[in-house]
Structures are given as C-alpha cells and as structure tokens.
Amino acid sequence: MQHALQVEILKELMSQLDEGKNIDAGVQYKMPTTSYVCPEMALLEKKEFFQNHPQLIGLTSDLPEPGSFFTLDDFGTPILATRDKEGNFHAFLNACRHRSVKVASEERGKKSVFMCPFHHWSYSNKGDLMSIPDEDHFGSIDKSCNGLIELPAVEHGGLLWVHPKADGEINLDKLLGELGPELDSFGMQNHLYQGSSTIDKRLNWKFANDTFGETYHFAKLHKDTLGRIFYGNNLHFKEFGRHHRFVTASRGIDQLRQMPESEWEISHGTFVLYHLFPNIQLVVGPHTTTLIRIYPHEEGPSRSVTKISFYYSQAAMDYAAEQNVNSDEIDVYDPDGRDAGPTLEGSREVFRSTIEQEDYDMGEMQQRAAENGQLKEIMFGRNEPALHHFHNNYREALGHPPLEKVS
C-alpha cells in the first residue's frame, strides 16, 4: 500500500476518534433471514460461488519448495496442489482416473509421485500417469491421455488461485481490478506458512462472513478481548467492485500522533482487512498475512466451516524468537504486551479463540432465530457499509433484487 494512502487512512480514523464519529453510509437496510436458512438458495450459492468461481486456496509458502504439495476439499472439489521440480504451481482434481479414489490423503508434505491406495496407479506431481500395475491384465490405455485432471491454476503476488472446473477461467485482472496492485504491494510471497485452524460451527456461512463486516460490536462483545486492543465503532471502507478494503483503528494509533507522518505505518495503528468476494477475508500487513476462508457445510445452510491460515515474514519470526517471551505468561489482549513483544502463538490465539468463542457463538444464536421463522428480517445500520456491500453484491450475483431500505 502506498505510503500516502496509509497516511490518508490513518488521518481519517484519527478524525473519527477525535470527533466521536464513525463512517456513515447514510442508509439502513433490511436483510431477509430466509437467506441464511433456505436450502434452495444454498444450492444456488454452491453452484455460483463455489463451483463456478475462482477460489483462493493459499499462499506461495503453502508450496515452499519443489516437490511440495497440499490437499483440500472445502468447496465440493477435492484438490491436489503441487509444485513441480521447475517450481511451477499445479492444481488437479484429487481423483485417480481408474476408480476416482484420492491419490493423496495427507494434508501437506513433499512427494514427486502420488500413488492411488486402491490399485496403486501412480502419477507425477505434474499430473502425468506414470504406471499401471499388472497392465497386461488390466489392458492397455494411452497414459498420455489419462493423467490427473488438471484445473486452471494461477500463482500471482504470493496468492494461489484455482478454478474448480477444468474448463473454467482465472483472469485476475478482471477478478481483482484495481485492487490487484494494492494486494501485490504487501509482498505476501515472502510470508511463510506457520499453521492453521479449522472452526466448524452451526451457523450459515454468511453469518460467519458478517462477523468481519463491522466493528460496532468490538467494545461490547469483545470488551475483555479485542476491545482492549481496538477502539471499535470506527471504520475506513472502500469498495473495489465486489471486493472491499476495511480498516479499523487499534489503540496503537495514538502512538503515531507523536511521530512525523513520514514514519507512519498503517500496520502500527490499525487492522487492515480485504474482503475478496464471496468468502475470503484477508488480513494483511508488511510482515503478516492471515487468510480466512469461509465455506458452507456439506450438511446444508445451517452449518459452515472456517479455515484460518497464518503466515509471517522471516523478520517477524526472528523478532518474535529474540523476545524470548513465555506464551503462557503473556496477556495476548494487552495492548502494551503486544507492543512489548507478543508471541506468534499469542497472536494466533487472538484470532482463533475470539472468532470461535465470541463472534461465532453470536452467529449460532442468529442461526437458531432465523430457523424459527418468526423473525423475517434483520437490519444493517448506517455504520455497517461492508455488510451492505457484501449482501447487495451477493443478491445481484444470484439475480435477486437489492436489499430493501429501512423506512
């Protein structure tokens, strides 16, 4: 992110804090609760957003060296992602061409050959069919035409994209537009994978998504956790087509007031999040990336799965190691403790536990109320433009009318 833009955003947030104001979209909307419970709508969502749409599946460091691979099965298509000996990224349907069994079951690792456990057909990490046991018994086939089904895959700016359909298209210029160069500026290709968490809860994926759409709740719901780190109820917001930038002030922003603007860095005083439509929350800084991927559960609209992956620059990991702080002794929600040298484990705990035990607990209550059927709609306030933006884009993509304004 350009330094001038960082200063502009920081000044906007400082002004909101000084004046006791928040962003004002000038409108409130009604959101029908059927969107969170309707099985037919869930099927439309799956088709439109998770079967016919490019998916961000990880960062460059998820495939750190030639021979690296990882697998996932989060959106209805089992994926095998590999890096070949030339360093190229590939994505395949994780299914043997013989009887469709997965050729890789491990979550991640390093292999140059993948062998189906059923009959031991083997494939290279470029997808080529290499051998068929007892081929004289099975019968001859053209191996060159029966490799793993390759899916469109693009690696750019440290991000790994795949399309779930073999005949799909990934056009990042079209997909990201002017947001693309801004994401590139964070150098995410240099952020190293350091672990992940999975949250499986009883709430619709859009309720989970909505968690990241406002800071109005920080000082209330998170008063003993994130509310001690972030002011809450303040927001910089900018749309990029169906995506948006979302920035809120941490208490560290006050330290910047004593520094010349030339030394201001947005990562020292804010939380910077990019929503990549439809289901990605990307929290970024010069030394950290947190990738949050939210998916509907295969059971139906009343459940979702959130995958959170953490990445750090080598400098961040070296700095954390030098601090020699015992993670069991530090209060991860103490702003002074964070500045003094939080552990990386502590930072990850802030994310996982707060989302799962606070935000998503509220989402489960919302889900139960929506399923009851008596509460026909919920509301999005003037200070929640990210929710306006996401849900109106969501409805437009499905061919539904825009949200109705609160009269």
The pLDDT tens digits for 251-293 are 999 999 999 999 999 999 999 999 999 999 999 999 999 999 9
Taking each helix axis from N to C end, the angle separating 344-354 and 314-323, rounded to the nearest 10 degrees, works out to 100
Cross-sheet strand order for the sheet of 129-131: 113-115, 122-124, 129-131
Q: What is the pLDDT of residue 369?
A: 97
d(CA 365, CA 167): 40
What is the DSSP annotation of 118-183? TT--EEETT--EEE-TTHHHH----GGG-SPPEE-EEEETTEEEE-SSTT----HHHHHTTHHHHH
Q: For the chain, what is the radius of gyration of the CA atoms?
A: 23
Rounded to an integer, what is the distance from CA 157 to the centroid of its chain?
A: 15
Q: Judge whether 282 lies within some domain.
A: yes
Would the pLDDT of 334 be above 80?
no
% of the chain exceeding 70 in pLDDT:
95
2 phi/psi in degrees, rounded to 5: -60, 145
Domain housing 379: 3-52+178-405
Would the pLDDT of 156 be above 50?
yes
The pLDDT tens digits for 301-327 are 999 999 999 999 999 888 888 876 554
Provide the residue type at 8 as one letter: E
Residue 46 or 330, more confident: 46
Lowest mean pLDDT among 44-58, 146-160, 317-331: 317-331
Q: What is the pLDDT of residue 323?
A: 75
Residue 250 carries which DSSP code? Answer: B
Q: How confident is the model at residue 341 (pLDDT cuts 50, 70, 90)?
A: very low
The pLDDT tens digits for 100-144 are 999 999 999 999 999 999 999 999 999 999 999 999 999 999 999
Residues 234 and 364 in one domain: yes
Residues 80 and 219 in one domain: no
- CATH number, residue 328: 3.90.380.10
Residues 81 and 11 in one domain: no
d(CA 308, CA 198): 6
Q: Judge whether 173 lies within some domain.
A: no
- Over residues 352-361, the mean pLDDT reads 95
Q: Which of 106, 134, 162 is the last residue of a domain?
A: 162
**What's the mean pLDDT when you consider all of the chain?**
94
Q: What is the pLDDT of residue 320?
A: 82
Spell out the long-range contacts of 138-147 with Cβ–Cβ below 8 A and sequence spacing 24 or more.
146/97, 147/97, 147/123
- Over residues 213-221, the mean pLDDT reads 95
Would residue 182 be called left, alpha or beta, if left means φ above 0 and alpha means ψ between -120 and 50 degrees? alpha
Residues 233 and 378 in one domain: yes
Residues 137 and 197 in one domain: no
Would the pLDDT of 344 be above 90?
no
- Over residues 361-369, the mean pLDDT reads 98
Would the pLDDT of 342 be above 70?
no
Q: What is the pLDDT of residue 146?
A: 97
Would the pLDDT of 399 be above 90?
yes
Q: Which of 134, 162, 190 is the last residue of a domain?
A: 162
Paired tokens of 30: 């009604």
Identify any residues that bridge with 296 across adjacent strands, giving them in sequence order.
304
